[in-house]
Structure 1
Amino acid sequence: MPIFTLNSTVTRVPAMLTLAAALLLGACGSAPPARMEPSAWPGTPSLSDEQAHDIAIHALGLVGTPYRYGGNTPDTGFDCSGLIGYVYRQRVGTPPPRTVAQLNQWGQPIDANELRTGDLVVFGRGRSPSHAGIYVGEGRFVHAPSSGGTVRLDHLQSRHWSNQNPAFRRP
C-alpha cells in the first residue's frame, strides 16, 4: 500500500483509492478534447419539457442584467456562456461547459425546425463559434451580447443574427 504524509501523520491508502484520486486529479487539470461526440459531454442532461420551459422563463427573467466579460451571476453580470451556465445550474442543477466552443459540443445537434424552449443557439462562422444564447420560443433567444450592453431578447431572423451562421443544440 502507498504511504502518504498528511500533517506529519503517516496514512495508508488502498491502491484503488490512489488510482481513483490520480485519475480525478488528472482530469481536473486537462482541457476537454477539441471534438467530442455530441452526447458524450459529461453531465449532459436529458431535459423534460417542463425543465426546458423553466430554463426559458428563468432566462427571460434575467433580461436587463448588465454584460460583463467572464461574468456568471446576476450580481456581477453575464457574458453569453456565463448566462447559459447560470440558468442551467439554477433550473436543472447541471453545469454546462463554460466556453462557447465547448457549448457547441454539448447535447445533440438539432435542426431549426426542431427548436423548443431551453435549446441552445450557437453562432459563429467557420470552425470557431463566437456567441451563444438560450432559445425561448417564437423565433426568439435570450443572450448577453456585448460589452456595455445588457442581457436581452433578440429574434433569430433579425438581419444581424440570421447572418451569423446559427447552429442549434439540445442539451
Structure 2
Amino acid sequence: MLLNPLPRLGGGLLVTLLLAGCAGYQSMDAVRVDPATTGRPQTAAPESNAVAQKLWRVYNRYEGTPYRYGGTSSTGFDCSGFILTAYREGLDRTDLPRTTGQMLAEGHYVRRDQLKPGDLVFFRIGGKEQHAGIYLGGHRFIHSATSVGVTESSLANPYWRNRYSQARRFL
C-alpha cells in the first residue's frame, strides 16, 4: 500500500507524479491481463477505432523490442522502421517512405486538434525533426525510443508535448 506523505496534493496526484517519466506515464486503469498470454499485463487500446485496434495489436507484438538505428525487424527498430512495420502488418500499407525526413515531405499536414488514429506524429529533438510515432487516440502514440525501444507514450507528457512539431496523415 502506498502511503501519501503529501496529503495536501490530494487523491492520486502523488501516484501520478511517481508514475510520470521521460517515456510518459501510463494510467493503471489502462492495464489489463490478457488471458491468451502468460499473464503478462498488456495495455488496453485507448480507442475502439478499428485503425487504433489494428495498430495496438502490432504494438503488443513488438512492445519492448530494442531500438536499433536503421532497424526494420523484430531484432530492433528505429522510429521510422517501426512505423513501416506497423503500417505494413497492421494496415496492409507498404507505400510509406523509409525515413522520417521523407515521411515529413509526404502525406497531408494535420493540425494537432485534428489527430486521428494512424496519423504520424513528429518531434523536434536536438534542433531538428528526427523522431516520429503513430497516434492511437486519447493523446497516446506508439514509437521506438532510443532509451526503451518500442513503447507507448502520451502527447501530454511534458517531454513529448514540448518537442511536438507536426503530424502527417497517410491514410
Same fold (TM over 0.5): yes
Partner of 1:168: 167
Partner of 1:68: 68
Partner of 1:103: 103
Segments ≥4 residues shifted beyond 6 Å: none
SS of the equivalent of 1:153 reads: strand
SS of the equivalent of 2:149 reads: coil
In the alignment, structure 1 segments of 5+ residues that lack a partner are 1-48
- Summarize the Cα distance change of 1:96–1:56 in structure 2 as closer, same or farther, 3 Å threshold: farther
Q: Aligned partners of 2:82 and 2:98: how far apart in 1?
A: 10
In the alignment, structure 2 segments of 5+ residues that lack a partner are 1-48
Point out the structure with the larger strand share.
2
- Summarize the Cα distance change of 1:150–1:125 in structure 2 as closer, same or farther, 3 Å threshold: closer
Partner of 1:90: 89
Amino acid paired to 1:105 = A
Q: Aligned partners of 1:165 and 1:59: how far apart in 2?
A: 21
SS of the equivalent of 1:101 reads: helix
Residue 135 of structure 1: how far off its partner (Å): 0.7
Partner of 1:150: 149
Contact 1:101/1:128 (8 A) holds in 2: no
Amino acid paired to 1:108 = H
TM-score (ref. length: structure 2): 0.63
Residue 61 of structure 1: how far off its partner (Å): 3.5
- Summarize the Cα distance change of 1:106–1:127 in structure 2 as closer, same or farther, 3 Å threshold: farther
Instruction: Report Cα offsets for 1:25-60 as digits up to 9, x if no partner.
Output: xxxxxxxxxxxxxxxxxxxxxxxx744642344234
Count of residue pairs the alignment pairs up: 121
Partner of 2:115: 115
Bigger radius of gyration = 1
Instruction: Report Cα offsets for 1:95-140 as digits up to 9, x if no partner.
Output: 3111111111221111111111111001116984110001111101
Partner of 2:5: none
Residue 63 of structure 1: how far off its partner (Å): 1.7
Q: Aligned partners of 1:152 and 1:51: how far apart in 2?
A: 18
Contact 2:125/2:131 (8 A) holds in 1: no
TM-score (ref. length: structure 1): 0.63
